[in-house]
Amino acid sequence: MSETTAQTTRPGQTPAVPPSLAELAATLPAGSLLERMGIVLVEATPQRLVATMPVEGNTQVAGILHGGASCVLAETLGSIGAMLHVWPGGTALGTDINATHHRAASSGLVTGVATAISLGRTLCSHEVVISDEAGRRLCTARITNLVRPAAPATTAG
C-alpha cells in the first residue's frame, strides 16, 4: 500500500458504514465552532471531505479571510475525517496542523477539500486545499489526528 493510499479497514475487520451527513450533523454539539463559522459539510467520508465556509464574518481587520478561519476549516475537515475512520464510537484528537496561505479572499464562499494521506490505527493525516469560488487555491493545510477506536464490546459471563 502506498503512503498516499488511505485504508479504512484492516484484514479481518468488517468495514463500518459511515453515517449520512444528517446523522453526522446530529452528533455535533449545538453552538460548536463549526456552526459559528458557518461551515457546511457537503461530503464526508474518511477518505474525502468537502465543506464550504463564508468569508463574511470570518475576516481579519484588513477585510480578508482570516488565516485562523482557514485553519478552523482545515481542522474541522481533518478531525471529522479521522472520527469517521474510527466510527462508530471512536475518538479523534488533533495533534498537529500547519497551513500555507497562498492568496487572499475578501468575499463569497470558500471550499475546503480534505483528502486522506494516511488512515492508520493510531494516526490519521489529511491534506486540505481551500479554494475560492473561482477555484483559485487560497490555502494548503495538513492536519494529523491521534485516533482511538471504540473499545470492543464485552459480554457478561
Ranges 21-25, 67-71, 97-101, 149-153: which has the least confidence: 149-153
Is residue 89 very low, low, confident or very high in pLDDT (cuts 50, 70, 90)?
confident
Name the burial class of residue 72, with classes exposed (0-12), middle (13-18) and buried (19+) by CB atoms within 10 angstroms of its CB. Answer: buried
pLDDT, one tens digit per residue, over 73-86 is 999 999 999 999 99
- Could you tell me what percent of the chain has a pLDDT over 70? 87
Q: How large is the average pLDDT for residues 109-116?
A: 98
pLDDT, one tens digit per residue, over 23-72 is 888 888 888 898 999 999 999 999 999 999 999 999 999 999 999 999 99
Domains annotated on the chain, with CATH: 33-148 (3.10.129.10)
Work out the mean pLDDT of the chain and round it to a whole number. Answer: 88
| pTM, full prediction | 0.85
Dig out the grid coordinates for 3 from the structure: 503512503
| Active-site annotation, residues | 75
9 has pLDDT over 90: no
Is residue 156 very low, low, confident or very high in pLDDT (cuts 50, 70, 90)?
low
Question: Hey, how many other C-beta atoms are within 10 angstroms of the C-beta on 89?
Answer: 12
Name the burial class of residue 54, with classes exposed (0-12), middle (13-18) and buried (19+) by CB atoms within 10 angstroms of its CB. Answer: middle
Residue written as grid cell 500500500? 1
pLDDT score of 32: 87
